[in-house]
Amino acid sequence: MTTTEITPQQQEEADQRHPRSLLLRMDRMPHIWCSRCGIGIALGCFAAALEKTGLSADDITVTSGIGCTGRVAGYVKVDSFHTTHGRAIPFAVGLTLARPDLRHVVFSGDGDLISIGGNHFIHAARRNQNLLVICVNNFTYAMTGGQLAPTTPITARATTAPYGSFERPFNLPYLAASAGACYVARWTALHIRRVTDSMTEALQKDGFRFIEILAPCSTIYARRNKLGTGLDLMKYYYESAIIDHKASMRDLDIGFQSRIVVGKFVDEDRPSYGQSMNDHLGKVLGSKFVNPVTGLDGIPKDGGEK
Amino acid sequence: MKADSIGVLTGTHYLDGDLAAAEGACTAGCRFFAGYPITPSTEVAERVALRFPLVGGQFIQMEDELASIAAVLGASWGGLKAMTVTSGPGFSLMMENIGLGVMMEVPCVVIDVQRGGPSTGLPTLPSQSDMMQARWGSHGDYEIIALSPNSPQECFDLTIEAFNLSEQWRVPVMLMMDECVGHMTEKVIIPPADEIEIVERRYTKVNPENYLPYAPCDDLVPEIAPLGKGYRFHTTGLTHDFRGYPVMSADVQEECVHRLVNKIRMNVDKIAHVETTDLDDAEVVIVGYGISSRVAIPAIERAKREGIKIGVIRLVTVWPFPEQLIRDLASNVKAFVMPEINYGQVVYEVERCAGGKAETRLVAHGGGWVHDPEVIYQAIREVAK
Amino acid sequence: MPDPHYWRKPFDSDTVQSPKGTVIIIRDRCKGCGFCVEFCPRGVLVLSSEFNKKGYHPPEVANPDRCVNCDLCERICPEFAIYCLNQEEIIELAP
């Protein structure tokens, strides 16, 4: 049985109709990421996950920081914020407390979220702030040319570690879980369906949710470490990734080109910061407690000045 | 429009400046506060923590000042009036995101209760040494608004004015208190809610298909869009065009950043709040702000009794600086005398605008205490000769 | 014809209809990464020897009959340059 051939006219129309184009700023395509970069895959999975949840794109915000992954905010067609280096999470904390009716996502890179943003990351996790944090981990600071990141595996080269890194990198799922995240998953860019499923279920939960996505950085991490291209890194994920949801989180460290343990490691339900705050204050203050005003209350019905 | 009475503690109170500022925030409709403890500003945060749950606000102590200012920007985008409070060291930490607030045009209020500096300095003693930092602390070309109260009553009043200015001009507004005013306890009168004017941000009436987030109106301020209503706008700290999309070019820098600067510079007349006395035939003009403007009063009165013609300019708004006022006066006066609790900051603005036509005399005082009025009086005597 | 990949043939394999898909390649958006070619589970795609406007080799459909509309290429493409349509969706395109 043959598949249908399409006419050039149909091709032209089909070119405009990529299934993700409703959720992406197609007026800004092509995006800036290199050939064989994995960030576009994470973005595509996010758009697909949004569709699967059935949530309206009007009810989502995306905040990102600085770096290659930080550019994601500029390509998603939702209310989006491209903030300063490391401060996407506290910015989003302000957003989520002001507009608890919307779903707030932080989408940024390993250096931005965990190095300069590390303090904000652990405190937001500790407080179970109502945020979905998607961390694309390419083991480097790619945008600025490939410096050492807190996730760079030992012996891998970076421009600020020209003789190879000797520093122990973070084990991100372990860090997130121990800080208090209620949903922790790690996948690679190859695990497109698992990534999409994780994002889909995480978008519908409350509390601090963390998804780490290992993604190939072709131009810098792969090339400078003589690992070939992003395609070779994807093949490495294929060969080395093991799915083990029950793995001990202490054993999730990643060595240079070592096996990678992926999976969904934590999936709990705990009240988020906002809920805990209102419950506690309501209990202590009784009738004197006034439920917090949200930004929704200040929006004039017909625009203009209230 | 009028203040929401739920946040207004109408009546006569005996409060210090810090507490009065917190009440000013509740009155102005501020319903989000993110801060970090730092002497001598902590009392503001503590009062807010106590009051906000009773008026529908949210208080959060963040992990540091960097997080505090970031959360304030996020909450303001989320539609709440938002504020943070700090002192010198925290103010330094906040600078990068203050720049983000300017670039994204986010209404918010940052209170700096100044203490001796630099570095850890004199945590419990006053100074006025962050004034230039308020103006230039972040990198790049930008303008902000900064107010300087000289009493607890003004800490209350000017916090409300700060919110109103920030909502109108979509810019971070600094309230430059100092430890003396912050920890001084005086009578503070809080009027009834319906006597207090509140300004709200201008939400757009344009529909989402045609809305451009950074297309300015005639006053150079763009209309803001509410979240979650289909606008799906993008905003960034990168230099951006009317759509909010980053564009790396000199033309767009001119269009974007020059407008941000002009938004304040070209509207100085509408923004600057200056109190002037006896300028018409003045020989010597005292230019003061904050607590120093009060400390100068005995010196001024003594000099007047001796027949020196003294005019007074009190800068309630320090930034944008009222350049034209100084320029116009410079040809007609002998000297400007400026007491500041620092080794020379705002006085350089006076000197610049005087253009050499009048002498500019700084009465400096290192942080730690207020001037002795005698020293100010001596300076007046010397320049009046 | 029995699929040589299976060494056991299910009894009802002749009655089962696999989905059929048509691959749409947005040639000039492609940056030639090769992910779709490498990871298509059905071997539908190969890298074209032609160049697109950007100077990359986009994929081309070598075995159209093997496409089962699994959407893997659609998801794994970082450039949003490839996707599949099923038979009904093709008909919905302009005639």
User: Rounded to whole angstroms, how far apart are CA atoms C7 and A84?
Assistant: 57
Each domain of chain C, given as residue ranges in start order, spans 21-92
- What share of chain A in percent tops pLDDT 70? 97
Each domain of chain B, given as residue ranges in start order, spans 5-195, 273-384
Q: Which of A173-177, B255-259, C25-29 has the lowest mean pLDDT?
A: C25-29
The structure tokens listed for B141 are 């070309």
CA distance A31 to chain B (A): 12
Query: Given a cut of 50, is residue A305 above it in pLDDT?
Result: no
Band of residue C94 on the pLDDT scale cut at 50, 70, 90: low
Q: What is the pLDDT of residues A232-274, one digit of tens each?
A: 999 999 999 999 999 999 999 999 999 999 999 999 999 999 9
Query: Which pLDDT score is estimated for C2?
Result: 54
Task: Note the CATH architecture for domain C21-92.
Answer: 2-Layer Sandwich (3.30)
The mean pLDDT of A221-239, rounded to a whole number, is: 97
The mean pLDDT of A158-174, rounded to a whole number, is: 97
- What share of chain C in percent tops pLDDT 70? 92
Query: Which pLDDT score is estimated for B81?
Result: 98
Query: Which pLDDT score is estimated for C95?
Result: 65
CB-based touch A/B (3+ pairs, under 8 A) = yes
Q: Are B143 and B264 in contact (CB under 8 A)?
A: yes
Task: Note the CATH architecture for domain B5-195.
Answer: 3-Layer(aba) Sandwich (3.40)
Query: Given a cut of 60, is residue C1 above it in pLDDT?
Result: no
Give the residues of chain B that fall short of pLDDT 70: none
Domains of chain A, start order: 23-269 (3.40.50.970)
CB-CB under 8 Å, A29 with C31: no
CATH number attached to the domain at B273-384: 3.40.50.920
Average pLDDT, chain A: 95
Average pLDDT, chain C: 89
Token look-up 């009465």 returns B363
Query: Which pLDDT score is estimated for A3?
Result: 52
Query: Which pLDDT score is estimated for A304?
Result: 47
* B75 to chain A: closest CA residue: A94
* C69 to chain A: closest CA residue: A3
The structure tokens listed for A76 are 């998603």
Q: Looking at the complex, does the CB of residue A120 fall below 8 Å from at least one CB of chain B?
A: yes
Query: Which pLDDT score is estimated for C6?
Result: 67
Q: What is the pLDDT of residues B137-161, one digit of tens each?
A: 999 999 999 999 999 999 999 999 9
Question: Residue A254: which of A184, A156, A108 has the closest Cα?
Answer: A156
CB-based touch A/C (3+ pairs, under 8 A) = yes
Query: Which pLDDT score is estimated for A1?
Result: 33
Query: Given a cut of 90, is residue C11 above it in pLDDT?
Result: no
Q: What does the buried/exposed string (b/e) look like for A85-109 if buried means 16 or more CB atoms within 10 Å of the residue's CB?
A: bbbbbbbbbbbbbbbbebbbbbbbb
